[in-house]
Amino acid sequence: SMTDPLTGLPNRRAFETHFPQAQGLAERHHPVALVMLDIDHFKGVNDRFGHGVGDQVLLALAQSLKTLTRRADLAARLAGDEFAVLLTDLDTAGVQAWYTRLADHFVSELAAFGLDLQTGLSAGQTWLAGSSADTLNDALMRADRALYQAKARGRGQLALAADSENPAG
């Protein structure tokens, strides 16, 4: 199966299957951003309110991603509260604007579910290098390192991988 049963988003296998297409775009000089997201303090939400509420939080993020992801992009649930998004033909400011809209929409979705939780989204971003030598694992590791930078800086923000240059200039 290529769909996450809880969220209805593509799963890790679907993401891995789609990655070569995104890599091909990067090789043809289209900027492709890989953004790793996770929900701040998600374990605490599960521990304090139970897995049913945790599932609602995951569904709120999935709905936000479905609303704000263009047809040319791909948002997937990789595992737990870890999500990855491939965004095509945006520059650094465009990715930041997308993240800000996503974070705001996520808070609105939580409120629509009747959840008043002190949580948000942390994200790490890297650019695909535009070379077949840039593997999925390499890109995920760069985005994951940037995600940890966002958490270390206080959560609720997008961090750009230090070794990632914007191919859009």
> Which residues are known catalytic residues?
81
Measured over the CA atoms of residue 16, residue 138, residue 27 and residue 34, the dihedral's sign is positive
CA atoms of 20 and 146, how far apart (whole Å): 22
Strands, E, within 4-114: which ranges?
32-39, 74-79, 82-88
CA atoms of 98 and 121, how far apart (whole Å): 13
Pairing of strands 158-160, 121-127: parallel
CA atoms of 36 and 87, how far apart (whole Å): 11
Main-chain phi, psi angles of 126, to 5 degrees: -135, 165
